Amino acid sequence: MRTLNHKNGAKSTFFRAAVAAAGGAVFIFALLLSGMAAPRTLSASANSGAPWEMGVTAEGVYSVHEDSVLEVKSELLTFNITALPDELDDGQEYDARVTAEYTFYNPTAEYVTTQMAFPFASNPYYERELTEAEITPVCIDGSPADYQIRHTYSQYTDFETDVRKILDGVIEDDFYSADLPVTVYTITLEYEVGRGMSDYAALRLDSLPATGDGTRLVGPFGGSGSSATVWNVMTSGDSVDVYVLGDDVPVVEWGWIASSYSDRAGEHVVIDADIIFKSSSTTLGELIFSGYDEEYGISRTDWYNAAVGNLSDDKIAGSSHDIILVPYLFTSWYVYETSVAPNSSFTNSVTALLYPTIHFNYKPYIYEYVYYLSPAKSWADFGELEIVINTPYYIQDSYTSDNVTLESVSGGYRTEISGLPEGELTFALCSVSQPERTGYGGSGFFAVLVVVLVAVAVIGIAIIVVASVLLYKLVRKRVG
């Protein structure tokens, strides 16, 4: 029979804790080192404190209304990148551009007219504003073509879906119209913060009451239909709006509740608060255009269609964000029309400026470009693709997509591909062939984050070791 030695057991406990502490130290520092050494997937805004500034992607041409009968016999994709966005002299124009030249073929025995759309982006939120060079966005058979600038709205951009939102006139809906009456209820919450209570309160509505077919609701709702709820976090004196579209309903009588977090209860509890209601009247058109400004460069038709399109997705209850629009969620499009005779071809080229994502964690910086090839899938057939990159800079293999193989040639890089490759085109450039990785570059945030993580790791290890020592002494004391 094995006899347990309590003193040896205490020592064993201590050593196990010490080993665990050491292992924890190794694990934490391994995480920190791997986080600093591993290549990063970069996607954030320029104001997030990250070691990059986000650029914008470039896209191909779409058919607006439906899949077209036109075939793409060939596409010449030319990148002219002789300037980098943060290396310009004062007053120098920024002129890095991509041109996609398509040779389209009409295989049918009829004339084919197609409305086409090409999404483009304006100057992104770089720290430095750029003076953009002028371009000719659309050409047909080598000559400039007429085009319109149109806009679509989406919180999560999906170009293939968004292009179908481009309409010649306003949306005609059985319920929503510009003169639809709207009652605006402004709900204000007033309360005193009790002891042990959070400064914040929630205006609650556990479920929406049933409404008739002549009413739609827009407000701070979560969920949809009769299961929609309200949970709007507010401080005393804050207000929130609920919009009743169509026939008015008694919003005041819906059984609103105010609650706040209680330290004692460990959960939200109902509080004594004044819930104040004020109402006013307007129309849907006036409400939609309450945030509109012509300086946005967006037509009233596209602005109106964006709001009504959002509302049509939620037939009973919608979010305030559906109707109170923000301009930065609009996508800009060059829209133009082409016409081609039976069994004939034509060339169509579209040009846009390029705005790369800038990676600051290299010296010199790395500039990453993304071009979406997938729009070409919407055409009836696709033949040859030639990619040419005219640049004095060096391709960085670690950032180049593996669906294409770029060959170094005089003046840049090129490749030819039969058919359309899977995936999108990504490549990165630098002014030297092998830039030096500098950790997190100019980002103070990540440097501070690493220091904080190291400090937390050291403190955690110290606590484990001290606890292990105390446990060891306690066991020794008990076994005498």
Give the N- to C-terminal CA distance of the chain in Å, as an integer: 23
Concatenate the DSSP letters of all residues of 61-95 into one string.
Answer: -EESSS--S-EEEEEEEEEE----TTSPPTTPEE-
Looking up tokens 């306690």 gives: 474
The token duo for 437 is: 């990785």
Q: What is the DSSP letter of 462?
A: H
- Mean pLDDT across 343-370: 93
User: What SS3 state is found at 478?
Assistant: helix
Report residue 403's pLDDT band, with 50, 70 and 90 as the boundaries: confident
Q: What is the DSSP letter of 387?
A: E
For the domain bounded by 52-146+341-437, which CATH number is listed?
Answer: 2.60.40.3680
Domain spans, the chain = 6-38+443-479, 52-146+341-437, 181-324
User: What SS3 state is found at 174?
Assistant: coil
Whole-angstrom distance, CA of residue 321 vs CA of residue 324: 5
Whole-angstrom distance, CA of residue 336 vs CA of residue 334: 7
Report residue 230's pLDDT band, with 50, 70 and 90 as the boundaries: confident
The token duo for 428 is: 């990165």
Amino acid at the residue 393: Y
Q: What is the pLDDT of residues 190-206, one digit of tens each?
A: 999 988 899 999 888 87
Q: What is the DSSP letter of 7?
A: H
- Mean pLDDT across 310-332: 80
Whole-angstrom distance, CA of residue 144 vs CA of residue 348: 10
Q: What is the pLDDT of residues 448-457, one digit of tens each?
A: 445 556 666 6
Around Cβ 459, how many Cβ atoms within 10 Å?
10
Do the Cβ atoms of 330 and 322 come closer than 8 Å?
A: no
Calculate the alpha carbon distances from 13 to 10, 22, 400, 462 in Å: 5, 14, 52, 17
State the DSSP H helix or E strand holding residue 408, giving kind and residue range, or none if neither: strand 407-409
Report residue 468's pLDDT band, with 50, 70 and 90 as the boundaries: low
Whole-angstrom distance, CA of residue 182 vs CA of residue 289: 13
According to the model, what pLDDT value does residue 33 have? Answer: 34
Q: Is the pLDDT of residue 38 over 60?
A: no
Query: Percent of the chain scored above 90 by pLDDT?
Result: 46
